[in-house]
């Protein structure tokens, strides 16, 4: 009975132990036959035989297929009958660990072979158990340990760049210093303890640079720092610490770390004194450069504005002193008009400088008469040259197509800028020349690669195709190639400065002429405008011999004006019978506009602001006013608001009444705002009478 109980108990125990194994085999070591005692479902899914005649061969054959490839070679080298028997004969179990692949997942298993306790000693038990969790846990631990060593070494290396590193528990305010430099230690700040934030405020009040103290204490509170860290995970602040009598710039960075170990804030303070001082030096240089650029800008604008102003003042004096000579007065007034025309374009450039630099400047194309343009340029620059005792010549006799489609003001600006600089840098008694040429249709033009502009290469004869005025050999709307050369015999430009001649706010200090500013903004704008027109500008110069600027443009030719078009001058226009409401707050502007309008027969009423203008239109009623000229910037009610209120009236008259903006707000966006408010058109101040009359004719 005891035998039966013992047998049952041993069987039960064996089965219980077998539950911890993937499988158990019994093997007869004399004939190598084996039988599977137990196996898990997962193991049996491998499809291995449960009995057989040669366990070693079976294991090597079938395990080679299901074993993880990286463990295969080691398994086959170790799992031999010789190695197994040798270990067993020594009274030691044979063991090895490797990986089997279950459902494409490598799983660590432990194989153990032991002899059964029996008289013959001819049987062994082979057990294969899963040790995957244990090994992977150990590997994870080893990796974490290695990472810990690596992070520790990295932290020690990084700590060398910091004055100090503190680790703070924000929940208890306990802290300890991880690392600090000897210099920081001289400040006498605690290395560990509690109440980190209050202690830091107390210590910083003592060691921080006085100029940074209030700012630091305002920010460095536990509540503010933690709010910032919980939102952004990091926070940086720069200030100065006092090391003896010397303030040193430092940067404090705080980072919030949250992991299985809890929440910790790391405070690192590093020395940025060298970087900050370099930055201060750089900012000081930039400030000096900005000041220099501002001074150069003002000097250049003074030069560019004084050129037409010189003509305006000079010819005003001439007209005043020759009141009994109508011809001289008319000539002076025409030259004043030409100079004012250019001065207006220059002021527009000054106001538009930001757009030029940002690439947002736009060209305004329209009919342009080159003969008239060159005439205005001569009027503006001849007096300046005369006052400096220079000889200046203008030759545009080869121009055959004088009417072109172009931005007239910009071309005038280009040439005046270059000529004015030529006069400015040419000593008294020397010469300045302007030569304008039309070289033929643009598509067939030849540009010499060498030699003087306008000259053929050496050994070739220069040829110039000619045709009669008005003749268009390239066809209708064809483009022609124009070349304009401004040459002087002045002081010249140095070889070093020549590459920078078209840069903004630059000038060359020239000892030959004292107190003369450089070309500055004028040539920078000139080069940009030429580029926008699709042309080219170049310069050649030699110190002591003079300079030569060459501008080349392709311009579309227009038909010549007919006699009827030429005769249709504004003076012949009669607009009598129409009443105009002029809404203008400036009395001088209102007086000028009234005199111009009355010259053409118009009856003019005046309203001093937008509110008064709206009231006058409503009180007058249907049909009284033929047009409203509306200023924009006015007190009480501006022009936009006044226009919208007029358009809101129900009667059809108020919807169709022409309203024309007449304003100094002259940018493209200003024009768009006027149209959006309900105005019909826009004319910029100061206006040309003929342009205003032409616009009035359109709506009257």
Tell me the mean pLDDT per 10 residues along the chain, length 700: 43 59 85 84 82 85 84 89 87 88 87 80 84 81 59 53 79 78 68 85 87 90 90 88 85 82 82 86 81 69 75 88 91 85 70 62 85 90 87 93 91 90 90 94 52 37 37 63 95 86 62 40 80 92 93 90 51 80 91 90 94 94 92 93 93 92 77 91 84 87
What is the C-alpha to C-alpha distance for residues 532 and 167, in angstroms, rounded to an integer?
61
Whether the Cβ atoms of residue 505 and residue 293 lie closer than 8 Å to each other: yes
* 677 sits in which H/E element: helix 668-677
Question: Which H helix or E strand runs over 581?
Answer: strand 579-583
For residue 489, give both structure tokens. 């015999």
3-state secondary structure of 285: helix
pLDDT of residue 606: 95
3-state secondary structure of 499: helix
| Range 16-137: architecture per CATH | 2-Layer Sandwich (3.30)
d(CA 676, CA 656) in angstroms, rounded, equals 15
Question: What is the pLDDT, as a whole number, of residue 470?
Answer: 43
Angle formed at CA 26 by CA 22 and CA 30, multiple of 5 degrees: 145
Q: Are strands 123-130 and 105-115 parallel, antiparallel or unpaired?
A: antiparallel
Q: What are the structure tokens assigned to 446, written together?
A: 């030849």
Domain ranges of the chain: 16-137, 160-271, 296-441+479-560, 573-699
**Matching fold, domains 160-271 and 296-441+479-560:** no
pLDDT of amino acid 121? 64
Cis peptide before 686 (omega within 30 of 0): yes
Looking at residue 448, its pLDDT comes to 39
Give the other-Cβ count within 10 Å of 472's Cβ.
17
* Distance separating alpha carbons of residues 380 and 116, to the nearest angstrom: 122
CATH 3.40.50.2300 for domain 573-699, yes or no, is yes
Exposure string of 367-387, with b = 16+ CB inside 10 Å and e = fewer, is ebebeebbebbbbbbbbbbee
Contacts of 236 (CB under 8 A, 6+ apart): 251, 252, 253, 254
- What pLDDT shows up at residue 278? 87
Q: What is the CATH number of domain 296-441+479-560?
A: 3.30.565.10
- What does DSSP say about strands 627-630 and 659-663: parallel, antiparallel, or unpaired? parallel
CA-based radius of gyration for the chain:
48
Residues 310 and 305: their CA atoms lie apart, in Å, by 9
Helix (H) or strand (E) holding 394: strand 391-395
Q: Which residue has the tokens 């919807």?
A: 655
Going by C-alpha positions, the residue among 207, 209, 170 that lies closest to residue 190 is 207
DSSP 364: -
Residue 654 has phi, psi (to 5 degrees) of -70, -25
- The matching CATH number, chosen from 3.30.565.10, 3.30.70.20, 3.30.43.10, 3.30.450.20, for 160-271 is 3.30.450.20
Supply the pLDDT for residue 168: 86
Count of other CB atoms within 10 angstroms of residue 656: 8
Phi-psi region of 4 (alpha: psi -120 to 50; beta: other; left: phi over 0): alpha
Q: Would the pTM of this model clear 0.85, i.e. be above it?
A: no
Closest-CA residue to 22 (of 98, 127, 134): 127
273-321 vs 370-387: helix axis angle to the nearest 10?
Answer: 90
Q: Tokens 């101040």 — which residue?
A: 685
């Amino acid at each position: 009975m005891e035998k039966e109980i013992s047998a049952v108990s041993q069987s039960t125990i064996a089965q219980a132990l077998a539950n911890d194994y993937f499988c158990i085999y019994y093997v007869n070591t004399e004939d190598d036959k084996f039988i599977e005692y137990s196996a898990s479902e997962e193991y049996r899914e491998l499809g291995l035989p449960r009995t057989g005649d040669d366990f070693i061969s079976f294991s090597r054959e079938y395990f080679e297929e299901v074993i993880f490839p990286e463990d295969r070679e080691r398994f086959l080298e170790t799992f031999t009958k010789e190695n197994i028997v040798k270990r067993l004969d020594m009274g030691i179990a044979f063991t090895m660990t490797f990986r089997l692949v279950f459902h494409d997942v490598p799983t660590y298993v432990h194989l153990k072979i032991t002899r059964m306790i029996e008289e013959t000693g001819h049987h062994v038990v082979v057990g294969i158990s899963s040790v995957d969790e244990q090994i992977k846990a150990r590997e994870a631990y080893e990796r974490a340990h290695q990472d810990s060593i690596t992070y520790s070494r990295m932290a020690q290396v990084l700590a060398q760049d910091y004055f100090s590193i503190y680790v703070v528990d924000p929940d208890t305010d306990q802290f300890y210093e991880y690392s600090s430099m000897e210099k920081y230690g001289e400040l006498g700040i605690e290395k560990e303890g509690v109440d980190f934030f209050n202690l830091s405020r107390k210590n910083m009040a003592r060691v921080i640079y006085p100029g940074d103290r209030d700012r630091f204490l305002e920010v460095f509170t536990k509540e503010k720092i933690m709010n910032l860290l919980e939102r952004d995970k990091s926070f940086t602040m720069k200030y100065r610490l006092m090391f003896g009598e010397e303030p040193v710039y430092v940067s404090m960075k705080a980072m919030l770390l949250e992991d299985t170990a809890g929440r910790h804030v790391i405070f690192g303070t590093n020395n940025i004194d060298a970087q900050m001082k370099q930055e201060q030096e750089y900012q000081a240089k930039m400030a000096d450069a900005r000041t220099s650029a501002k001074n150069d800008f003002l000097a250049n604008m003074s030069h560019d504005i004084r050129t037409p102003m010189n003509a305006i003042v000079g010819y005003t004096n001439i007209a005043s002193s020759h009141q009994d000579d109508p011809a001289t007065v008319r000539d002076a007034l025409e030259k004043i008009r030409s100079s004012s025309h250019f001065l207006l374009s220059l002021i527009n450039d000054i106001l538009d400088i930001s757009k030029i630099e940002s690439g947002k400047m736009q060209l305004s194309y329209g009919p342009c008469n080159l003969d008239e343009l060159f005439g205005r340029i001569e009027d503006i620059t001849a007096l300046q040259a005369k006052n400096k005792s220079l000889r200046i010549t203008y030759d545009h006799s080869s121009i055959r197509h004088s009417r072109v489609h172009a931005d007239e003001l910009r071309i005038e600006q280009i040439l005046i800028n270059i000529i004015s600089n030529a006069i400015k840098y040419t000593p008294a008694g020397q010469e300045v020349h302007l030569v304008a040429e039309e070289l033929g249709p643009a598509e067939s033009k030849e540009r010499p690669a060498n030699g003087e502009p306008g000259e053929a290469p050496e050994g070739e004869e220069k040829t110039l195709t000619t045709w009669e005025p008005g003749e268009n050999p390239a066809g209708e709307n064809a483009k022609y190639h124009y070349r304009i050369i401004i040459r002087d015999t002045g002081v010249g430009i140095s070889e070093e400065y020549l590459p920078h001649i078209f840069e903004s706010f630059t000038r060359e200090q020239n000892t030959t002429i004292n107190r003369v500013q450089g070309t500055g903004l004028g040539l920078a704008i000139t080069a940009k405008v030429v580029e926008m027109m699709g042309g080219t500008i170049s310069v050649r110069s030699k110190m002591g011999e003079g300079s030569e600027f060459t501008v080349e443009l392709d311009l579309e030719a227009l038909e010549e004006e007919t006699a009827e078009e030429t005769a249709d001058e504004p003076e012949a226009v009669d607009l009598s019978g129409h009443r105009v409401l002029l809404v203008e707050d400036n009395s001088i502007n209102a007086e000028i506009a009234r005199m111009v309008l009355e010259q053409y027969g118009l009856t003019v009423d005046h309203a001093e602001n937008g509110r008064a203008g709206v009231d006058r239109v409503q009180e007058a009623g249907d049909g009284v006013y033929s047009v409203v000229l509306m200023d924009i910037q006015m007190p009480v009610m501006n022009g936009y608001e006044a226009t919208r209120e007029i358009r809101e009236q129900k009667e059809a008259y108020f919807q169709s009444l022409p309203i024309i903006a007449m304003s100094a707000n002259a940018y493209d966006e200003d024009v768009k705002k006027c149209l959006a408010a309900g105005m019909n058109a826009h004319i910029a101040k100061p206006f040309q009478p003929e342009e205003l009359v032409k616009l009035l004719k359109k709506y009257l």
